[in-house]
Amino acid sequence: MSAVIEAIGLTRSFATGVALDGLTLDVQPGEVLALLGPNGAGKTTTVRLLNGVLLADSGEARVLGLDPRTDGDEIRRRTGVLTENAGLDERLTARENLLFAARIRGLSSSHAQQRVDELLGRFGMFDRANDQVQGFSTGQRKRLGLARALLHDPEVLFLDEPTSGLDPAATRDVVELIGSLATEHGRTVIVCTHFLSEAGRLAHRMAVLHRGRLQAFGRPDELAATLWDGLEADVDTGAPVDDRTLALLHDVDGVTTAVASASGAHLRVRDRDALAVVVATLVGREVPVYSAIPHTPTLEDVYFAIEEKFT
Amino acid sequence: MNWPAIRAVMAKDLTAVRRSKAVVLPMLLVPVLLLVVLPLVIGIAARSQDHFDLSRFLDNIPGDLARPILALPQREQLIVLVNGYLLAPLFLIVPLMVSAVLAADAFAGEKERKTLESLLHLPLADRDLFVAKLLTAYVPALLVSWIGFVCFAIVSNTVAWPVMHRIFIPTKLWGVMIFWVAPAVAALGLSVMVRVSARARTSQEANQLGGAVILPLIFLAVGQATGLLLVDIKIAISIGALIWVIALWLCSRGARRFTRDQLATRL
């Protein structure tokens, strides 16, 4: 299946310097990609370039098979974007903001009304529909911004900090919504976020940008394998292991390091098979083993390890 | 041209403007003062006094223009001089100010309110967005000017009726001002703001930067009041033509620079 988004060597500079330097990546249909990096890393520039809002100095991109340089309007017709600040007109009501976007997107008047009502209800904003946005909280604005991005049922969704300012319940709802858009509706989603736990729950792959350069791109487990040898694990023996047991652990094939911990030992092993050998060895020496838990690095672990490499 | 989208942008911007007192009040206050209060005061003054001695002022203005006023009965001279001649250049402040204020709100205001980026992410061609923003400022400027003039004509003729006993506004000069010079001046205010708004971060900053555009009108009004330059029909047509040329030149340059990439670069 061909990629929904392809970028090859995408580069853009401003008077202040290079904002994006040779970005090459692809996003597959139905995939959720987390675009990560500190402020000024080039995430927003990437979204703008892929939507044809900014033009690349060099490099190429294809979004839904279209070139953002020449087919920007057609791309924007088929994508939805939630910008970091929702970008709503404060002097208009919630409904007027959505109806405006619907009219620009060419929805008929009756379809627009119906769709706006549906989305206002879905995002719990129906009772504020006729209030001016200037009195809204950050969370309400964000929900309204999301509703606007989904008005035309876009094939690709770009979400810049979709959950910042949301309370925990609203955050959970938005995360579930993004997940369902990808899994149930086959939409492709690019999420720029600082909230790594959400990115970890949602994203199939992650792209880490730092000062405009792509530092890492892939599945978190793939990237973890390039960063660390083996995996960490905790073995619970009910009490800190003694020196004799520690020496025994060191002798097991596949154990890289072993140190005593409050409830047993903390190990780094080559892989999960090595951990099984550790358990068998301890049980064979009549050391009680209550649990042996391998710790697969999370997206957050991977991100910080990558960040550490480049700062 | 995507006219439904252009109309949508205009409707959105004008709805928002209508709800902004800071924008609406000066737009209404100046026309009311110039086009209602001033002719009312002049009319009442002319009715309450037997005569005003305008001979010193009329001596200073060119004879071709002074003669028709001097030929009028003395009680009519003040009304015809002020409402028929002196107010004409001042009237141009109305289209200029309305178009400039609305253009600053439409162009720089989007940046100030942080709504520009979400607008740029909509499927709306650069040209359509530019036209929509121009019309958002230009159409109301003309409407306010023309409606203001109708009010001015009604107030002037009504208040001065006991003195004049005839409808004396509109004059030919006013006709040229309304249908030729005022549209040009509105276009000038707009085109200056388009250029200024590209650099300004807020509508207030744009208004300050673009405020200098009002200076030529003040010179014109002072020239008219002191008799240094009295605008007759020929001069009004020439001034209108010059302003149109400048406004269209500025607008075409503004259009060339009005691209998504340029706008997004300054976000």
Per-residue pLDDT of chain A (311 residues; tens, 9 = 90+): 589 999 999 999 999 999 999 999 999 999 999 999 888 899 999 999 999 999 999 999 999 999 999 999 999 999 999 998 889 999 999 999 999 999 999 999 999 999 999 999 988 889 999 999 998 988 889 889 999 999 999 999 999 988 887 788 878 888 888 888 888 788 999 999 888 888 888 889 999 999 999 998 988 878 887 777 788 899 999 999 999 999 999 999 999 899 999 999 999 998 888 999 999 999 999 899 999 998 888 888 888 888 777 76
Domain limits, CATH 3.30.70, in chain A:
229-297
B11 CB neighbours in chain A (<8 A) are 100
With CB atoms and an 8 Å threshold, state whether B8 touches A100: yes
B14 touching A (Cβ < 8 Å): no
B4 CB neighbours in chain A (<8 A) are 103, 106
A105 CB neighbours in chain B (<8 A) are 122-123
Query: From the candidates A12, A89, A107, which should be mutated to test the interface with B, based on the most B CB atoms within 10 A?
Result: A89
Helix%, strand%, coil% for chain B, nearest 5: 85, 0, 15
Residue B48, min C-alpha distance to chain A (Å): 47
| CA–CA dist A27, A265 (Å, integer) | 41
B21 touching A (Cβ < 8 Å): no
**pLDDT tens readout for residues B218-241:** 666 666 666 556 677 888 899 899
Q: Residue B182 sits in which domain range?
A: 3-265
With CB atoms and an 8 Å threshold, state whether A77 touches B123: yes
Q: What is the CA radius of gyration of chain B?
A: 21
Topology of domain A229-297 in CATH is Alpha-Beta Plaits (3.30.70)
| CA–CA dist B48, B38 (Å, integer) | 15
Q: In what side-by-side order are the strands of the sheet with A79-82?
A: A79-82, A156-160, A188-192, A32-36, A205-210, A213-218
Domain limits, CATH 3.40.50.300, in chain A:
5-218
| pTM summary value | 0.83
Number of domains into which chain B is organized: 1
Class level of CATH domain A5-218 = alpha beta
The pLDDT value recorded for residue A49 is 97
Please say whether the beta carbons of B144 and B98 come within 8 A.
yes
Q: Could you tell me the CA-to-CA distances from B71 to B63, B85, B224, B229, B234 in Å, in that order?
A: 12, 15, 20, 21, 22
Query: From the candidates B2, B119, B121, which should be mutated to test the interface with A, based on the most A CB atoms within 10 A?
Result: B121
B118 touching A (Cβ < 8 Å): yes
A74 CB neighbours in chain B (<8 A) are 123
The pLDDT value recorded for residue B164 is 82
Q: Within 10 Å of residue B86's Cβ, how many Cβ atoms?
A: 19
A48 CB neighbours in chain B (<8 A) are 264
**pLDDT tens readout for residues A252-298:** 999 989 999 999 999 999 888 899 999 999 999 989 999 999 888 88
Report the pLDDT averaged over residues B85-95. Answer: 83
Q: Could you tell me the CA-to-CA distances from B181 to B27, B88, B104, B177 in Å, in that order?
A: 19, 10, 21, 5
B246 touching A (Cβ < 8 Å): no
With CB atoms and an 8 Å threshold, state whether B16 touches A92: yes
With CB atoms and an 8 Å threshold, state whether B16 touches A54: no
b/e sequence A7-17, b meaning 16+ C-beta within 10 Å: beebbbeeeee
B118 closest CB neighbour out of A14, A52, A83: A83
